[in-house]
Every structure is written in structure tokens, then in C-alpha cells.
Structure 1
Amino acid sequence: MSLGCDLTLLEELTSNAKQIQEDVLNKILKANANTEYLQRFLQGSSDKELFKKNVPVVSYEDVKHYIYRVSNGEPSDVISGEPITAFLRSSGTSSGNPKIFPANNIFFKNVQIIYTLCSVVMSKHVEGFKEGKVIWFQPASTTPCGLPIAPVLTSFTKSEYYRSLAKKSTSPDQIIMCPDTKQSMYCQLLCGLVQRDDVVSVGAVFASVLVGVIHFLENYWKELASNIRSGHLSEWITDLGCRDYVSILLGDPNPELADLIENVCGQKSWQGIVSRLWPKAKCIDAIITGSMAQYIPALEFYSNNELPLVSLRYASSEAYFGLNLEPLSKPQHVSYTFLPNMSYFEFIDVDGEIVDLVNVKLGHYYEPFGLHRCRVGDVLQVTGFYNMAPQFRFVRRKNTVLSVYAEPTTEEDLLKALARATVILESSDLMITGFTCYADISTVPGHYVFYMELKAKVNNTSIDDLVLDTKVLVECCCVMEESLNGSYRSFRRKNGWIGALEIRVVQQGTFASLMDFFVCRGSSISQYKTPMCLESAEALKVLEDKVLARFFSDKSPPI
């Protein structure tokens, strides 16, 4: 199937979803029926009814052993009928530990199709998008057998299928692939600033990563401007790939651009900093659904609400699923149209019934799974159909819950509570730059603890230098409790089964330290997502060591 220059391909795929899914399944079974994993269930048969009857729905733990055997040097046919050319690493923060998944050239070709279609969709909605460049950030590593192991986009960057799209990036692959995260980020920002007039999109895989990049810029803008002023790269950039490319890009001294950067970054407030540094940017591109919704206020502040927050793709390390056909829609209205050629998709509903892609029902909730029938762990809701292809809203991670008694608090509940607190804080010119929580059952009754890193909108002042208003923070505790579900509110009022909700304000940079903690344990920095809820005692200690103040709700929420 060729890549068209218009939306004809999209119409073909979505109009023929049922037949394409059947074709995809047939190809998968013919290629994989004799792998060691599927041989146990299919005895070499490629019959699709036998597949649905005999192959069990599994978790990652059930297939992990096979994947790690290949990553350590055994043949691909342990688990894949196609040669495995790379391993994809998950963020490791939704489930607590990074996972790796095998990928082949078919996967990367599908990613190329998705990115080509995303570009076409953006060009349809945003004039001039196709002509400009984008800023991105991602690192990589390898498995013991020498195959690349990295997040999806990094692996795609290293594949032959990336070349047709590489010209849109402000940085070449030698910078993107630099193993030193600090050098890579610095050089990518430098490339983006030098080419500021060409940039049409500023983004990262996740909204949290982009907020982290902006914080990095806060610490290094003076040095970046100095490099541009002198035309010389800082000596601590020792990676040869980075040095060679950036030194050529810098060229002659550019005092005019250096002055502009110093003027923009030196202002008292960084409101609109993205729009001011990249005046031709037309959007911020990052995943902003699910747990990433907590970073929407910060990105709106840094763009001064002048740039749409675009969440273009829905993907995981297991598979690419689809794209957002209405990229300028508000974050709360984002839905993704599943493309039937990406993989063979099945879904399990709340009652345990398994259905195919084209048989999902409007308004119903499902968890998807794909090859080897491995559960992804996301909960999706069907919001509509584009031709015959269903569209889904991301609701939450399946296992992300908080509970101290018997109340099932979901990720969605927590985000609603956070949204209410954000409004209260914004009225006091504060914004949340980091957030997580945990269920503290070390005391009786147990209670919810929310860690927040705050920042003043005016004067670009860190919370460390501010006097915290007790009344404002206590009010945040109260409105958060009011926003939680009926079970929580009921147990909170009855017999003291749940204690008062607590907010612990932490020092500036605490959530960067939390990210370092997870990265040192194998998480990917380019895909890092601050965990919505924490369970690790070690991770909690990172936060506890930097608590500035504690505040509690002073009244029980209404039932």
C-alpha cells in the first residue's frame, strides 16, 4: 500500500476496516504460527478460529521470558516469524518497571505511514505546517545482543523509514541519538534556537517531557545565548557528533539573535516563552491525554494560550493504534481513529467479552490488546466512527487507582481533583509544575497525600522563595476532596474511615530528582511520565526529603 500525498489512503483504510483486519490477521498467523510461543497453542496452524479459541489473553509477564531470550541473543523465531530488528522500551512509569517489546521492519513501516498521515492531517488544519521544521528530543541504548533498545520514536529515528521525514527535524540523528542526555538536550535546544524562524512545531513525546525541557532552558538560556553570540560551542559538549554538527550550524557570531534570546528569557515572567522564542510555531505537539493532562495548565502558560496543544498519535510500545483527525480539538475532546493496517486489534470489555475492532459499540469501555493477545492496560471509550473505523477516547490506565479503605479512586478522579486545585492556585498566580500522590496507611485512619511542586507565574520565582498562603492551600485540599467520588466522600465522613486529605509542597526541582530516580532504574527519559500514584518507598523518600510545608483539609466533603 503506497503512501499517498493526500487523505486517499486514510479513506481506503477506514472504509475497508473489516477486510483489512482479516488480511492483517491472516498475514500475522502465517508468519508467526510456527514460532515457539504460538506453536504451543496452534501446532503450526494459521486458522484464525483456532487462534481465537486456543491462544489465551495474557499479561506482559506471560511473554516477558520469550522477549528477553531474543534480546539476549536467541533467534527471533522464539516469538516472531519476522526478523526482529529492534526492541522498544516502555516508559516504565505506568506499571512501575520498564518493559521491552520486539519490533521488526513492518512495525517501522507502519510508523512511517502514521507520521505521513499525521503530517497530511496537520497540513489540512494548519496552513504552512508542511514547510516548516519541528523540535524533538529522545535518547537510546542497546540490548546485550547488540540490537537497539529505545522508546518507539528513537528506534524509528534509527530506522531506514525515518529518512523521508528527517528533514523536518531541527536536529540530525547524531544529536537525537547522543547517549548523554544533557548534551543531547542542550544541543537540540541550541539547534532549535538557531533555526527559530523555521520552527512550526515544538514538542516531545509526553507533555511532562516538554515541561522538563522548558525547565532545562531556564537553567541554560544564558549559556545558549553566549554560544550563539560567540559562534563557539561550550567546551563541556564533548560528544563528537554533537560538536561537529552544532559547530557548523552556529557559523559566525550572531549577537542579534543572542540579544533577542537574552531579552525574551530575561523577562520577569516566562508566560508565552514558547511563542516568543519560536514566533512561527503553530502548535505544541505532545501527548496530553490521561495522566499528561496535569501538565496542560503549564503548557498553556508557557504558550500564553496562543498555540493549540496537539495530541496527534495514540501509540504504545506494543503497537501504533491510530491518529487524531481533529488535531486542533481541545484536550478534553481528543479522540483517536484506529487504523486497521497497524496490527490486528481485539478488545475486552468490562464484562470480559472479547470483540474485534469493527464490533466495538459506541459509548462502551474497552481495554485493547494485540499480537499474542497481550493486554495493553489502557481503558478506552468509543466516541464515534470514521467510516468503518472506531474512534476512542483515552480514559485511564487500567490499574492506576488510589485507596486507603475500600474506595476505588481512579486516575480520572484524581485529574478532576487536580483541575479544581489548579483553579484555586491560579487565582493566587501559582501553577503546578509537578504532581503525584500516594495512599498513606502508616497512620489510622489512612489518608491521601498529594505532593505538589509549585511556581509563581510572576517574576519567574520558585516556590522556595515564596511565603505560602495557608488559606489557599487548605482550600485546595478541600476542593480536591469535594471532587473525588462518592465512595471516598462517604468513607471520609463516616466514622473517620479516611483521614483528611493532605498536600505536601516540595522544593523546586524535586520532580526532576524523581525523574532521575526512575531513569537510573531503567526508565526512558524521553518517554518519562511522572507516576500519577507512587508505591515505591525509595521514590517516596526522594519527595519526602524535599517537603517544604504540609497542609490538610479542615472539613469533611459533602456527600
Structure 2
Amino acid sequence: MLPAAAALAVCVAAAVAVVVCVAVAVAVGAGAALPAAPPLRHRLARAVLHRAARWQRRRLELRGTEVRSSQERRLRRLLPAGAAPGSDAFRESHPLTLSSPDGDPGEQEAPVPLLGPWALLRSCWAADPPLQGALLYLDVLRTAFPQALALRGTALFCWAPGGPRAPAGWPLPTLYCTPAEAGAVPSRAAALRLQLLFALRERGLRVLEAGLASELCDALAALRAGWPGLAEDLALGRLSPQLELPEGTRRQLQGLLAPDAARAAELRAECARGFEGIVQRLWPQLQVVVVGTAHGGEQLYSDALQQEDCKGLPFYSPFYRAGGALLGVNLWPEEPSARFLLCPDWAFCEFLPCPAEEETATALLGELWEGREYALVLTAWPGEYRCHVGEVLQVAGFHKQCPVVEPVRRESQTLSVRGESIPEERFLRSLRRAVGMWPGARLVDYVCVESALLGASSGACAPHYQVFVELRGLRDLSEGQRYKLDHCLQEDFPTYKSFRFKGSIGPLRLHLVAAGAFARLREAVGCPRPMPRVLRERRLLSAIQSAVVS
């Protein structure tokens, strides 16, 4: 641990120097276009933030050796004055509660904080997870990818219709070449196309950052479908007149553009060669793709990106969020699968063993076993105690005394019409196996519906699943091919097979949808969150039904 005087000196130096970049941070927080920042100012801010980040890393290492006391301190901050002290009394006096099964609020990004000169100073002794997490991210990124923090070297893909959202490196706003207004327009498709246009202007990008893997996937799909128009916009230095934008936003963004015929010609040449590895060819200095969420419902998009458009580039998912709170950080960006260190002073966490045991007592953060799966119970906000958030984690190891976890599944996305319980990651495995039996077919996207949501329109048959898929390379399926998915589920899930044999679950119905249907579905969801794989809302069901072609 640093001596108190040294720690104070580091923090004061950070707070004083960060005044240099406060004006830029406030502009970003207010949604203003990012002005061109002098390199000296960027380097100074980066050096200051690096020192603050190193302090946070040392703090994290210290907290990792005293997990129980760190959790108890965090719990005291969350309880009202006069509450009985200690986690044992807390668990006895508050029953477990359930969060909403239909959403994943923990995956939504918080609004961009305003970075004032005292923020870093305060973070040296106060637990401020969003700032601590951002500082740790900047430190990890700088260490693993030395050129990643270049001035305007990061392009951001994130739709935030309610206002600007915090990118991973928000304390260093000069990192980004993407204007805040580009992500805040009402249309998701327009926002991603605008962000793509500003990214294409910067040939020297080092990082592509997306709030969700699906956002980057849809932005690159827009590149595939509309690269001639994007090249024309680059050459003319204009915003496409076909984009429906608020007039004030259009004027602000148009003022940031200038004609670039050379870059337009390069875009045309690279897209004409095909799209495998297109990201690395368009931005040859790119070092890493940062994705806020790439697991759960987003894993399909992350896999597709790595296999084609972003082939050859490492992917890094820096944060783990659940129940509306930041809970963990990924300190190992070069590992192939994302693992998150649960930080003991960011929230009070409890864990229920999976599968459920007769003993329902929860385990605490320092009482977990490596290799086991646990359902997460979270206390992150005053007044919201012991929420069963529907996330299942596996303990992959430990860093000091802190568990390192991998997200396994979202319980709200489990299919079950008779109690048979088919988790989303295992359903996807069966679906991929069925698609492999359809010659020439490649799975692009899918969603499931339990027949109860369809009401009378599902017919008089037994409860069943309906599955909507988007495929590439195949326009139609025979009835025999459609049955392959039901057959794979029966092979993979004996309980499902038993119910199918008895007739208490009816045959699965498979529908093909038009290209682009899922991008429109994500816009219909209305807020940036991981793709739901089991639809629970009729309006979303109607949106996907309207795109059925077979």
C-alpha cells in the first residue's frame, strides 16, 4: 500500500492536471461535438489518468486480500443508518427478491458522467465503480496494446437514443473520433451509419469500440449493403440526404466533414475485393476490437465478427454488468474468452449454487469454489436488496481472494413450456447443429417464442416452440429440413424428447425471415441491451412475424 502522503500527492497531481481536459469532458457529457484536441493536451491527460489508474490497480490488489471486510464495508454504505451491522444479520432480515425476468438492465450503459477536477481525487478513497472501472480499463488497454490510446484513435459504435452513453474510456474523451450526436439520433440504423462514416474518415484508427457486439455487427452490415453510398459521402464530405436527422444535428455533424477523395477511393477498392478481413484492411493500424457486451445473447454476433469481418483481430470485453451495476473488470484482454474479476467494493454479492440445492443459504464472495456455477444475488443500490438478477456465473479461478468468473447463461432466456428447461446457450448449440445439416446454409440470427405468447394464433395444438431464423446461402427449407431442429432438440434434451413422445409438447415450428429483420427488431426493442433470445413481448413478436418469408 502506498504511504498516505505519497497517495495524496498522486491524487492531487491527478486532480490538478485533469483540469486541463475538463472542458472537453464537459462538452462530451453535454452531447456536444468533440473538438479537435491538441496532441499536448491529450498526452498530458493520458499521463495523468495513467497515474490515477495505477493507484486504482494497487487499491484493487489490496482489496483482493481482504474480500470479506471489503464486502462488509460496501454493505454498510448501502444500508440505512441504524440497520443491524453485518452480512449475517442483513441476510436474516431481508428475503431474496426477483428482478424483472424480461430485461437485462445491467447491460445498459450509464449516461456519460461529467468529469470534474475533483472526480479523480475523490476516487482515491471513495468507491466510485464507474470511474474506477474506466481507469482500470485504460490502464489494461495501454499495457496490452501500447498504441491503443492514440489521440482520436478510437471509433465508437453505440446507439443511445436517450442521450450520450459512457464509452469504456470516458475519462479520456480525446480518445474518440466519434461525435456524441452521431449516437443519439432517434433511428438506430441512422446512428450506426453515421458512426461508421466518421470511423471511415480516420484511416489511422487503433481501436473499434462498440457497446454491444450486435451494434458493430449491424454497422458492418451497413458497410456491406451501402459502401458505394458511403464512398460518395466521403468523397463529397457530406451527410447523405437520405438520412432522416434532426436539423440541428445535421448542421452540427455536417460542419465536421470535409471532402476526402483519396479515402473514398480506398474504400471502394477494398470493398470490391470482398469483406473477409475488411476491418483490418480498412484500418491497417487497428490493434483491438473492444465490445462492451459479447456474451449471452451477443455471443453469436461476436463469433460472426471474428470469423469474417474482423478476422485476425483480438476481441476484448472489459466489463461485467448485471442488475444495473458494474460488478467486474477483465484484466486479461489477450485471453480468448472473457473472464471478469469481481471487485469486492463495487457491490455486495451473494451466490446460490447451481443446480439448486435443498439448503438455500447463499454463499458470499470469499466462499466460492472453483469450477462451480452460481446464480447471482445482488445488492447494489440503497433500498434494492438481495435481487436474484437471473445471471448464472462459473468460477474460473481466483485473483488473490477475489473470484474470476465467466458468465454462463441468462435464466430469463430459458425455454420452457412444460418445465423442460432448455437454456439459451444449449439451444444455440442444437440450432447450429441443425443448420449444419442444411447444405449451403449459414446461421445469421435467430429468436424463439413460446406458443403461449401467440395466443389463439398458435392453433389448437399442444404447447410448442416457434423459432424465427435468418439464414445466408439458403432461401427456403423443406419440411424434412425444418424437422431437423426438432430432432436435434430431442437428441440433446431427453426431457423434451419424452414430452414430445407423449404429445404434451407439440412439434417445433420454424420460420425464415428476410435479411435485415433482426436489425429492425433490435431497433424495435427501443434501448441498447443484449439481444433477447426468447421474446416475451407481443409487440416484438409482431415485429419479427411481419418479416417472415417462408
Same fold (TM over 0.5): yes
Gaps of 5+ in 2: 1-6, 12-51, 453-457
Asked if 1:307 is matched to 2:313, the reply is yes
> What residue in structure 2 maps to residue 533 of structure 1?
534
Q: Which moved more, 1:405-414 or 1:49-58?
A: 49-58
SS at match of 1:377: strand
Asked if 1:318 is matched to 2:324, the reply is yes
Q: Is the 8 A contact 1:507 1:547 kept in 2?
A: yes
In the TM superposition, what are the counterparts of 1:277-292 in structure 2 within 5 Å?
Answer: 277-286=282-291, 287-292=293-298
Amino acid at match of 1:45: A
CA apart distance, 1:285:
2.2
Calculate the TM-score normalised by the size of structure 1: 0.74
Asked if 1:367 is matched to 2:376, the reply is yes
Alignment coverage as a number of residue pairs: 470
Amino acid at match of 1:414: F
> What residue in structure 2 maps to residue 84 of structure 1?
none
In the TM superposition, what are the counterparts of 1:317-396 in structure 2 within 5 Å?
Answer: 318-331=324-337, 334-349=338-353, 350-351=356-357, 352-362=360-370, 363-371=372-380, 372-373=384-385, 374-396=387-409
CA apart distance, 1:185:
2.6
CA apart distance, 1:531:
1.6
> What residue in structure 2 maps to residue 76 of structure 1?
none
Asked if 1:271 is matched to 2:308, the reply is no
Structure 1 vs Structure 2 CA RMSD: 3.5
The alpha-carbon distance between structure 1 residues 24 and 188, as it changes in their structure 2 partners (threshold 3 A), is same
Amino acid at match of 1:436: V
Asked if 1:452 is matched to 2:473, the reply is no
Q: Is the 8 A contact 1:434 1:454 kept in 2?
A: yes
Asked if 1:511 is matched to 2:518, the reply is yes
C-alpha deviations, 1:158-199, integer Å up to 9, x for none?
A: xxx9753212222133434445545533332121111131x2
In the TM superposition, what are the counterparts of 1:23-172 in structure 2 within 5 Å?
Answer: 23-29=73-79, 33=80, 44-45=82-83, 47-48=85-86, 50-60=89-99, 93-94=103-104, 109-131=128-150, 133-140=153-160, 154-156=164-166, 164-172=171-179
CA apart distance, 1:474:
4.1
> What residue in structure 2 maps to residue 213 of structure 1?
219
- Counterparts of 1:467 and 1:59, CA distance in 2: 42
C-alpha deviations, 1:357-381, integer Å up to 9, x for none?
A: 1122221423231233233221112
Q: Which moved more, 1:106-115 or 1:540-549?
A: 106-115
> What residue in structure 1 maps to residue 443 of structure 2?
432
- Counterparts of 1:472 and 1:208, CA distance in 2: 31
The percentage of aligned residue pairs carrying the same residue is 23
- Counterparts of 2:423 and 2:211, CA distance in 1: 24
> What residue in structure 2 maps to residue 542 of structure 1?
543
Q: Is the 8 A contact 1:420 1:476 kept in 2?
A: no
Amino acid at match of 2:286: A
Asked if 1:18 is matched to 2:77, the reply is no
Q: Is the 8 A contact 1:170 1:192 kept in 2?
A: yes
SS at match of 2:149: helix
- Counterparts of 2:398 and 2:207, CA distance in 1: 28
Q: Is the 8 A contact 1:348 1:354 kept in 2?
A: yes
> What residue in structure 2 maps to residue 145 of structure 1?
none
The alpha-carbon distance between structure 1 residues 26 and 212, as it changes in their structure 2 partners (threshold 3 A), is same
The alpha-carbon distance between structure 1 residues 15 and 99, as it changes in their structure 2 partners (threshold 3 A), is closer
Q: Which moved more, 1:226-235 or 1:122-131?
A: 122-131
- Counterparts of 1:239 and 1:183, CA distance in 2: 14
Amino acid at match of 1:134: T
- Counterparts of 2:110 and 2:334, CA distance in 1: 32
- Counterparts of 1:452 and 1:342, CA distance in 2: 39
The alpha-carbon distance between structure 1 residues 119 and 424, as it changes in their structure 2 partners (threshold 3 A), is farther
C-alpha deviations, 1:412-470, integer Å up to 9, x for none?
A: 32122133245446x62x432221012336443443322111224xxxxxxxxx64364
C-alpha deviations, 1:87-140, integer Å up to 9, x for none?
A: xxx9x6459x99999x99889942222122123223333343333622223344
- Counterparts of 1:108 and 1:453, CA distance in 2: 45
Calculate the TM-score normalised by the size of structure 2: 0.75
> What residue in structure 1 maps to residue 299 of structure 2?
293
Amino acid at match of 2:147: G
2:429 to 416, 428, 435: 416
- Counterparts of 2:287 and 2:437, CA distance in 1: 30
> What residue in structure 2 maps to residue 79 of structure 1?
none
- Counterparts of 2:186 and 2:352, CA distance in 1: 39
